[in-house]
Amino acid sequence: MKNRQLSLSILASVLGSILLLAGCKKINESTDLGGGLIPPIDNINTFDTTITVEGYNDLFTFTGNALTDDSTRSASTDEHFLGVISNDPIFGKTDARLFLELKPPFYKYTFRNKPHPDSLFIDSVILILDYVETYGDTTVPQTVEVREITSEFRYDTSYLIRENHFTTSTLLGSTTFTPHTLNDSVYAAFDTSKSQLRVRLDNSFGHRLLMYDTAGANNAYSTDSAFRSKFKGFALQSVAGGNAIMGFNLLGVNTKLAIYYKYTNGFNNIDTSLAFFTFSANGLSASANYIERNYSGTPVLAAQGGASPDPILYIQNTPGTFATIKMPDLALLNNRVIHRAELIAEQVYDVSDSMFPPPSFLYLDAFDAAMNDYRTVPYDLMFTSPTSLNLGSFGVAPINSVDGSGNTIRTWKFNLSRYVQHVVNDTEPVYDLRLFAPFYVIDQYKPTTNATPTPQFISINPSIAKGRMRIAGNTGPGDTNPHRLRLRIIYSKL
């Protein structure tokens, strides 16, 4: 599902954030708990303190635990990924497989001169995918195989991305390519476009399509159900090499099955023709995207478990990882006026980040033990219109900053001001928070204490699969890392 809410929310909130920052120029980052008195503003003594927070690494799973299971589903409008990341030094391996149906543009469908099937001859049949982008190393070749799906494949079902739902049989074709070449223009008969992955399939498959009819035992083109009974779809998988996943647009004009064939015309001459089966022509095409992560032997897997807070947090886009954030010292604060409270999370740079960049956005929600479910952060994540959340001013988008070695890093500052005010007023408990980079999330939306919770679909990142990063954790009150995970509070005494 596309990010329907995010762009407008961020644009409006970024403008508001600029005004907020402009009004806070006198306030500098504090590094110590109880860090001192800020110069008086309007004769009010304003203080700045930093609260120690703890971060614990965890993995999304698919084992039946409703709180950690990743139930993300793919939709036909989503960008679909294909390929293999075989050597991410931090996050291990990723295997992305793509499944789709391509169908005739209408029913009943016939090829030219179909009443005389002996006059039809296959020239070639090409599976083409509309290329969008590459995440990873664009210079390492990989081989993609195309097989025929033999299990049920439904256009009215959104499939879980953590499950491989399909069985396959016949190898229809394969190709070896280098990802950076997918941007190149294609010069083929009847096609001079660019940004394509092209896989030539076996001519026997093309001949099979030519021989299908609209009636009788070989009927495939009379109805959609008849076609599905003869051919259930394509399964694509990278089987050799590769250190990247490629994104494709199934609804793009370049996603199609090109069937080049020859036929005899009424004058007994041989003509060449081209037929396209497409994904979007009749709205009845099924799709699925299976993404498998393998963290064996990685720092991500080594960081799981343990009773002590983690110095490094590992965050990866769906299907991926998350961090649980605990703030035990927040409960020790007495009542005061909170002007600003923000959870600050800073990227820890690694040279591999240039090849495997961070996700576009991070998200923060809260675990409510009374509901035994995750909820939106109360009072700070709110609807600004009937269809738009204030995700931008809440802090899902990063700002660029520089670490101590001069590397450009991303920093997130989540605005928790209203929530923290209610904590110090003893009207809200201190929740454990969850920091992650989802494609989308379905949280219980409960904006205030007395509100009735309702499930809310919230789009965050523009796609699945791509984006991972390390974030500085916090080892406790003695942690002197200036980039550590922390809760900064600007307040006035009552």
Residue 31 is predicted with a pLDDT of 37
383, containing H or E segment: strand 383-385
* For residue 125, pLDDT beyond 50: yes
- Whether 71 is in a domain gets the answer no
Q: Are residues 231 and 354 in the same domain?
A: no
Q: Are residues 84 and 35 in the same domain?
A: no
Highest-confidence range of 114-123, 182-191, 272-281, 329-338, by mean pLDDT?
329-338
Q: How many helices (H) and strands (E) does the chain have?
A: 6, 28
DSSP for residue 4? -
Residue 30 is predicted with a pLDDT of 44
Q: What is the 3-state secondary structure (H, E, C) of 264-310?
A: ECCCCCEEEEEEEEECCCCCCCCEEEEEEEECCCCHHHHCCCCCCCC
Longest dimension (CA), the chain: 97
Rounded CA-CA distance 400/422 in Å is 30
Residue 271 is predicted with a pLDDT of 82
DSSP for residue 338? E
- Whether 58 is in a domain gets the answer no
* Contact (CB, 8 A) for 108 and 222: yes
- Whether 384 is in a domain gets the answer yes
* Locus of tokens 């035992």: 217
Residue 192 is predicted with a pLDDT of 63
| CA neighbor of 201 nearest in space, from 180, 232, 170, 230 | 170
| CA neighbor of 95 nearest in space, from 10, 164, 6, 193 | 164
Q: Which of 242, 268, 294 is the last residue of a domain?
A: 294
Residues 393-407: what's their mean pLDDT? 95
Instruction: Report residue 446 as tokens.
Output: 């409960």
Residue 35 is predicted with a pLDDT of 41
Q: Are residues 238 and 285 in the same domain?
A: yes
122, containing H or E segment: strand 120-136
19, containing H or E segment: helix 6-22
Q: What is the pLDDT of residues 245-304, one digit of tens each?
A: 999 999 999 999 999 999 877 666 778 889 999 997 667 999 999 999 999 999 999 999
Residues 43-65: what's their mean pLDDT? 89
Q: What is the pLDDT of residues 407-429, one digit of tens each?
A: 999 999 999 999 999 999 999 99
| CA neighbor of 292 nearest in space, from 147, 467, 93 | 93
Question: Residue ranges of the alpha helices (H) in 157-298?
Answer: 203-211, 224-230
Average pLDDT of the chain is 89
* Contact (CB, 8 A) for 302 and 89: no
Q: What is the pLDDT of residues 87-96, one digit of tens each?
A: 999 999 999 9
Q: Are residues 222 and 133 in the same domain?
A: yes
Secondary structure class of 425 (helix, strand, coil): coil
Rounded CA-CA distance 52/475 in Å is 9
Burial 172-200 (b: 16+ CB within 10 A, else e): bbbbebbbeebeeeeeeeebeeebbbbbb
Q: Are residues 228 and 326 in the same domain?
A: no
* Contact (CB, 8 A) for 386 and 5: no
Q: Are residues 355 and 481 in the same domain?
A: yes
Residues with Cβ within 8 Å of 225's Cβ and at least 6 positions away in sequence, in order, are none
Q: Which of 294, 326, 351 is the last residue of a domain?
A: 294
The whole-angstrom distance between residue 329's C-alpha and the CA centroid of its chain comes to 34
Task: Work out how many domains the chain is built from and give that number.
Answer: 2
Question: HSE (CB half, 13 Å, CA atoms) of 195?
Answer: 14
* For residue 115, pLDDT beyond 70: no
Please count the other Cβ atoms lying within 10 Å of the Cβ belonging to residue 265. 12
Q: Are residues 316 and 407 in the same domain?
A: yes
Residue 187 is predicted with a pLDDT of 66
Q: Are residues 84 and 228 in the same domain?
A: yes
- Whether 304 is in a domain gets the answer no
Domain extent at residue 36: 6-53+311-492
Q: Which of 243, 269, 294 is the last residue of a domain?
A: 294
Residues 171-198: what's their mean pLDDT? 86
Residues with Cβ within 8 Å of 36's Cβ and at least 6 positions away in sequence, in order, are 30, 47, 48
Q: Report, in angstroms and rounded to the nearest whole number, the Rg of the chain calculated over CA atoms.
A: 27
Q: Pick the range with the lowest mean pLDDT from 23-27, 51-55, 219-223.
A: 23-27
Q: Are residues 144 and 186 in the same domain?
A: yes
Q: What is the pLDDT of residues 305-352, one digit of tens each?
A: 989 999 999 999 999 999 999 999 999 999 999 999 999 999 999 999
Residues 351-365: what's their mean pLDDT? 98
Q: Are residues 270 and 322 in the same domain?
A: no
Rounded CA-CA distance 361/166 in Å is 32
Q: Are residues 337 and 452 in the same domain?
A: yes
Q: Are residues 143 and 277 in the same domain?
A: yes
DSSP for residue 377? P
Rounded CA-CA distance 258/231 in Å is 16
Instruction: Report residue 94 as tokens.
Output: 């990723």
Residue 8 is predicted with a pLDDT of 37
